[in-house]
Structures are given as structure tokens and as C-alpha cells.
Structure 1
Amino acid sequence: MSSVEVRAAEVALHRRAAWACAAAPGRFRVWEHVGVLAVLAEDPALGFLSSVSGVGPDTLPEAIRLADAPVWGTVAPTLVVPVGLGGAALSGAGFTRVGQRPLAIAPVPASTAPESDVVAADGSFADVLLAGYEVDGPVAAFIRAEHRLATVRGLFLMRAGSPIAAAAMSLHGDVAVLGGASTLREHRGRGAQTRLLRHRLHLAAEAGATLAVATAAAGSASAANLRAAGFALHERLAWRRPRTPGSTPAPGGRG
């Protein structure tokens, strides 16, 4: 995949994050600085959101400086950097690798068939999605707020008249973000998410999108499903270091 496609995918995910943070309870800030994309969530339970991404060879020094900015307060943001970029510089600046955050990116097929058992979700979408995720607390509240947005389209895969899996998508220019998907425990391992993935690509094509992006944990079943559907994985590493004690508290509000 090209650097242009990767950049478009990261920007689309950043825009989706901005929507979610604007809708969710809590204190957030979402902004762009010299081409680098930043998200700050003050609630420790949502610490996985606090990140600096969209980093390339020309912006790595600025990303490192941004991670030191007073705006973060006591929050330690995760720097998300392509594999092979800046390892020595990050280690030298005190960062430690803490995992992987791959992106799955694919061109949207010009013509795909819809899935007959996939329907537009009703008001119970977040309930089904969260039942599949099996999470609660602030994470569940954040997910529920995000998926109440009219700009985030929810879908159900039905079986015997009941939803067994849920998936969402949103459009950001000509990029479709296929974010938010889960299957009820008793129905896992039977291809539900593959069908929902195909249907979302169909809808993305109908809407005129040319690129689709999704995230999945490295080595997960979701990542395998995305590969099987023709997505290429853009490997990114997560780096983090503790904040310096006594840092200036982050300002409230959303940016």
C-alpha cells in the first residue's frame, strides 16, 4: 500500500475518534499538530485512546516533542509508529515498546454483493455490540456514545429473527472506517464477522468510498478475517514512557 493510502486511513480513523470523543462523557481533546494526530483521554480507563499517530520520517521528531508537551498532564500517550521507523531515536528518548497497533487497509471493490441476512440495526445496536464485547464501565459508556451517532451506521447479522452479531461503519470523505464489531459468544467461530465485513464493503462501494480501513489486534481472529477479505496489514508499533512527575495538568474540554 502507498504512503498516501496509509495517511488517508490514519486521518479517517482520527476523524472517527474525534466524533466519538465529542459524543462521549468525560474530558477529551482531539487535535492535529504539524501533521501529527493526537488524542487525549483523561479517564485512566480510556488510556488506550491517548495516542500520537500519523507519524512519518519527517514528523517523528515533532511527535516525540508533542509527547512531552504539558497538555498531556499526567497521561502518558502512546506513540504509534510504523515498523522500522525511529526505533533507536525512541529508545534513546526513553520510550519502550508496549505492543502493536496494525492497520488493515484495502481498496473498496467496485462491485460486491450484499449479504442477505444483514439488516440495518435498530435502537438495540449498542446493547448487542456491548454484549459481544463483554465490557462495562467507562469503556462501555464510550462505545455506547460513539455508536449512538447518526453518522455511524450500525448493522446486524440475523439468525432465526434475532441479531447474533453487530458491526458499524462510518464514511470520512472517500474512506470507509469499518469500526465497531462483535459477535455474541455462543455464535462465534461461524463466519459472522466475515459476512458483516463483506456487507460493509458493499455499502462502502455504494457510497462511493475508494478505501476501507479497520483495526484489529495483531494475531487475532479479526486480523485473520481482514487478511482473508483482501486487506493488507500496515504494521505499526506502540511506544510509551512514563510522564515526568509534576507535569502541568491537561486543560479540560474537547479540541
Structure 2
Amino acid sequence: MTFSDHDLAQRLELTEARSNAAFVEARARIFPKSGAQWQAIAGAYVLFDGPGSPLTQTFGLGLFEETTAVDLDRIEAFFAARQAPVLHEISPLASPTLLPLLGARGYQPIEFTSVLYQDLTPASAPEPPHSDIRTRIIGPEEADAWASTAAAGWLEEAPELTAFLRELGAVSAQSAGMTCFVAEAEGAAIATASLYMHGGVALLAGASTVLVGRRRGAQAALLAARLHHAAAHGCTLAMMGALPGSQSQRNAERHGFRIAYTRAKWQLLREGR
């Protein structure tokens, strides 16, 4: 059994950071004028995907190297130059010197994420549910169709974000190392999900189901398909993120995931130096 400790946090946070860096690189390739780019500062991944993108933030701050005031100066300058907010996803296993430093500079926590994981072997991956749902990995030529299906599943909650969500899905589908899955019923796509693997860790993301396809076991089938694929490719851990106490977290725990830690997102709200 893998226990929740500093080593595990490094593996999980690095996998998510690498996934987001691949997304930023894809954005820069597909939309050269976007200014999307990332760099490593003090062991953290500092990512810019546009001022309003949920990927514009850092990952791994204080987890791989000690963070100093000079490091934060560089990071804050990176975002200021791009007129973007300064946001950090902070693991509670980061250096204990980091939080006082953030507090003194005017940062405040604004959001929490449950980071969940489970040990993975070919034998432990769940069997797909017995249903009429078929899952498969999409081909490169299906990226736009996959993105449209993913966006359709999210648009019920945010109909005003149609163009943004389709673009988000299209870039994700073309990110290096990302494997995109689709679930179909009667030949029609009803759900999507994605998988990113790094260093033996499988990051599960991109889960979306269109309204007419819900409560048919599509996401259970996609979860099984991704875990089998990851285990077959040498992954020994699977991870995902969820809003604390959400239905997504409960579903993950029902399928054998457990909480590694609760991560906080910190935002620079005022100059405190």
C-alpha cells in the first residue's frame, strides 16, 4: 500500500504539472498568438494559458525546493508581465515555511481540491460494467468531435462558455501524452474522459457526459477502460482531483480512491510586502 507522504505528493503534483505544461505547449502550437508558455522556477511549474484560463497558475510550489521571497518576486513578475492573476496550487506537504511567506505577501486561500489516489495493478483495475456502452481511444482526426462532446456535457452547468469549453477540449485532445477516450451508445458519443501518464502515475481527467447519456454507466465504463490502459502501460498509481465533498469525490471513493490530501489554491489579493 502506498501511503500519503511527501514522496507521494511529489509524484502526484509532478504528474498534474506535466499534464498542464503539455496543454500549454499545445495551446502555443495551435494558437501561436496566445502567448501561452511555462517555465520552471524553484522547482515549481509556472504556467500561463491566458489571463482567464484555469491553467494559469503554479503547481508544486514549495514541494520540490524551498521557496524564497526572490523566487516569488520572479513568479509574480512572470504573471504581471502577462496581466494575469497570481495563483498557486499548494499541497499541504509543501515546506512549512511557504505559508507564512505567502501570508506576509498578501495571499489568501480561495479554493480547495481533494487529491485522490489508488494503487494500481493489472489485476486491481475494475472490470467494465455490463451494459450497452462501448469505450475506445479516439484517433487524432476525432479531436474536434471529442471536444464537442466534452463541451456538450459541461454546457448544462455553464452555457455561456460554449466557445471556451470547445477550445479547451480541442487543445487538451492535441496535448502531447494525452490519451482521450469516448463512450458510445447505439453508435453515438455520449461521454468523454482523458488520461495522462507520467512516471508511473495515471492522471484521470476530462470526465463529461451529455445529458441524454447520463445514468447509463458511461463514466464507470470510461474509468475501467482508463485504469486498464494505465496499468497495462506500467502505471502503479492513479490519481484525480475533485471538489471536497462533491459527487465526483464520492464516486471516486466508491471505486477505490482515497484522499491523499486537500490542496489549497492561493491568490495574491494585495501587496503585503
Task: Sort the TM-score into its range (normalised by shorter chain).
Answer: 0.7 to 0.9
Query: Secondary structure of the equivalent of 2:10?
Result: helix
Q: Does structure 2 retain, via aligned residues, the 8 Å contact 1:198–1:229?
A: no
Residue of structure 2 equivalent to 1:72: 79
Q: 1:128 aligns with which of 149, 168, 178?
A: 149
Q: Does structure 1 retain, via aligned residues, the 8 Å contact 2:51–2:85?
A: no
Check if 1:18 corresponds to 2:25.
Answer: no
Residue of structure 2 equivalent to 1:218: 244
Alignment of 1:1-255 (within 5 A): 1-24=4-27, 25=31, 26-41=34-49, 43-46=50-53, 48-56=54-62, 59=65, 61-62=67-68, 65-69=70-74, 70-73=77-80, 74-83=83-92, 85=96, 86-111=98-123, 112=125, 114-115=127-128, 117-122=134-139, 123=142, 124-134=145-155, 135-149=161-175, 151-233=177-259, 234-242=261-269
Q: Which runs of 5 or more structure 1 residues have no equivalent in the other structure?
A: 245-255
Cα distance, 1:206 vs structure 2: 0.7
Comparing 130-139 with 3-12, which one deviates more in the overlay? 130-139
Comparing 226-235 with 107-116, which one deviates more in the overlay? 107-116
TM-score if structure 2 supplies the norm length? 0.78
- For 2:108, the aligned partner's letter is T
Q: Does structure 2 retain, via aligned residues, the 8 Å contact 1:194–1:225?
A: no
Task: Give the Cα separation in 2 of the matches to 1:150 and 1:94.
Answer: 36
Task: Give the Cα separation in 2 of the matches to 1:118 and 1:57.
Answer: 37
Task: Give the Cα separation in 2 of the matches to 1:19 and 1:58.
Answer: 20
Q: Does structure 2 retain, via aligned residues, the 8 Å contact 1:80–1:101?
A: no
TM-score if structure 1 supplies the norm length? 0.83
- For 1:44, the aligned partner's letter is P
Q: Does structure 1 retain, via aligned residues, the 8 Å contact 2:181–2:194?
A: yes
Cα distance, 1:33 vs structure 2: 1.9
Q: Does structure 2 retain, via aligned residues, the 8 Å contact 1:36–1:55?
A: yes
RMSD: 2.5
Distance 1:202 1:163, change over 3 A: same
Cα distance, 1:162 vs structure 2: 1.7
Q: What per-residue deviation string (whole Å, max 9, x for no partner) do you get for residues 171-199 of structure 1?
A: 22312121211011233344432331122
Cα distance, 1:160 vs structure 2: 2.2
Q: Does structure 2 retain, via aligned residues, the 8 Å contact 1:102–1:236?
A: yes
Comparing 222-231 with 205-214, which one deviates more in the overlay? 222-231
Query: Secondary structure of the equivalent of 1:101?
Result: strand
The count of aligned residue pairs is: 241
Cα distance, 1:161 vs structure 2: 2.3
Q: What per-residue deviation string (whole Å, max 9, x for no partner) do you get for residues 66-94 of structure 1?
A: 44322211322212223485544432321
- For 2:254, the aligned partner's letter is A
Q: Does structure 2 retain, via aligned residues, the 8 Å contact 1:95–1:240?
A: yes
Task: Give the Cα separation in 2 of the matches to 1:152 and 1:159.
Answer: 23
Q: Does structure 2 retain, via aligned residues, the 8 Å contact 1:98–1:239?
A: yes
Task: Give the Cα separation in 1 of the matches to 2:164 and 2:52.
Answer: 6
Comparing 99-108 with 141-150, which one deviates more in the overlay? 141-150
Query: Secondary structure of the equivalent of 1:235?
Result: strand
Task: Give the Cα separation in 2 of the matches to 1:119 and 1:190.
Answer: 16
Query: Secondary structure of the equivalent of 2:205?
Result: coil
